[in-house]
Amino acid sequence: MRQISHIVPMKWMIGLNFEDASNTESAQILGKLAVDSLLDDNLLYSIQIGNEPDLYAKHGVRKTEWGIEDYTNEWMTWATQLSHHYFDDNDKTTSSTTSKRRNIFTGGVICCTWQLQDLLDSGYFERSKDLINSITVQKYSSNACFGVAKGDISDFTSHSWITSLPRTMYEEPAKIVIENNKELIMGETNSAACRGIQGISDTYVSALWSIDWQLFLYSIGFSSVELQLGGSTSHYNPMSKVGGSWIVNPIYYGSLVTAEALGPSDAKPQVVHIEVSSDSRAAYAIFHQQALKYIVLINLNPDEEAVFSLQSSFTESWWNNDENGDENNILKVKRLTADSLQEKHVIQWAGQTLHGVSDGLLRGDIEIDQVKCNDPNQCEITLPKGSVALVGQDFDEYHTTIIADHSFDVDDFLGVNNSYNHENNYNFTNPLRMAGTTTTSATTTTFILLPSITSLFISISLVTYYMFIII
């Protein structure tokens, strides 16, 4: 874990087994190890007690009458005891960057039968505030559970449908979480739960959906959005292993766009949702350091191009500098395109593609369009059918970071099987290597599947900034 964090700017969320509320032994050992090993270097974001507790009664992990009040009492007992175990009670100082930080837990991690508002109304949030730095929820746009797909391609190309669920479930309660200086995390999401929907989750439309979905979540206050990576039969995976090579799937491209739009962590990005009249269009303004950096335009229509008129109310700051004369009226555009919403492979981001690539390196020359705005008060940007545009005055330059010159297997990297090739001199400093969990590789693979990592991989790590391990 530490080695991965030295390659890409990652922090970690560590999950603890909450199945038996009377036994905290493993939680004490593993949590203490994580705190001692990672927190001083600011690599540990939070510790998660359990996963989806709102399903515990349904799945027989708790009694049928067990509810949110019982969860609150059990969680508070655990968090209080673990905090005493992890930290020196004689040290009363606190810090946001050292092991003295006490609010190390993330609360909730709910998905299904309890809502974020329930955590606020039940008293859980108020009681836990001194122990948590964030609240985590998990939600998919749709689901394909029990073999029945809910939602078709017309839903995933409707901006109102894509945003309706987070509007209803999260927009208002998110304000309360943020007002109390806590972060709100989407800890697990994708197009559709239960492996995704074939023909949607594994096609180009999922990339368009993911950009709209992610940016809307950020616009209502989420600080992190984490895409679910499932098993080999899942349709929604950002990447898949075919034979001995890893290939990128369509939804991966969506994170390339959002990552570049959000920029590095020190950009302090803010996302503003812009209301547009057409349900097949979406627009977002991205601010870095409180200054307008980009505008993201999305055309969800599979058959027709779309013309967006950028109003001066958003772009005024771009036109205030007369130093460059007419050059100041030129905007630059990067585009995400494919021939159809059903495309699975031939997808381009700013002229480059990962089609046929197994080393993580984008192929092709970068293509950046220039649009001259004769009228800065109403500058028009045209988008082809089913496409996305990242619009700005300029684009930041990213540099290639090479992790290794050869392919390696995830288990080899973590040192958890006997196939490790000792000629691959990886530095095994994973503090949780001893855990021997089968889910570790599944949650870390997002960052180590592709050995030669370009700016695309650095960028995607900023969107999926916090990862977690369920132990």
pLDDT score at 90: 66
pLDDT score at 70: 98
- When mean pLDDT is compared across 98-107, 154-163, 326-335, 405-414, the lowest value belongs to 405-414
More confident residue, 305 or 407: 305
The model's pLDDT over 60-104, given as tens digits with 9 standing for 90+, comes to 999 999 999 999 999 999 999 999 999 876 665 545 444 446 799
Would you place residue 311 in the very low, low, confident or very high pLDDT band (cuts 50, 70, 90)? confident
Would you place residue 329 in the very low, low, confident or very high pLDDT band (cuts 50, 70, 90)? confident
Q: Do residues 353 and 344 make contact, with C-beta atoms less than 8 angstroms apart?
A: no
Class of the CATH domain delimited by 139-470? mainly beta
Nearest to 196 by CA among 244, 169, 255, 156: 156
Q: Do residues 170 and 191 make contact, with C-beta atoms less than 8 angstroms apart?
A: no
Would you place residue 400 in the very low, low, confident or very high pLDDT band (cuts 50, 70, 90)? low
pLDDT score at 313: 72
Q: Where are the domains of the chain?
A: 139-470
pLDDT score at 399: 60
Mean pLDDT over each residue of the chain, to the nearest integer? 83
pLDDT score at 402: 54
Is residue 164 scored above 60 in pLDDT? yes
Is residue 458 scored above 60 in pLDDT? no
Average pLDDT of the residues in 148-176: 97
- When mean pLDDT is compared across 31-35, 291-295, 379-383, 450-454, the lowest value belongs to 450-454
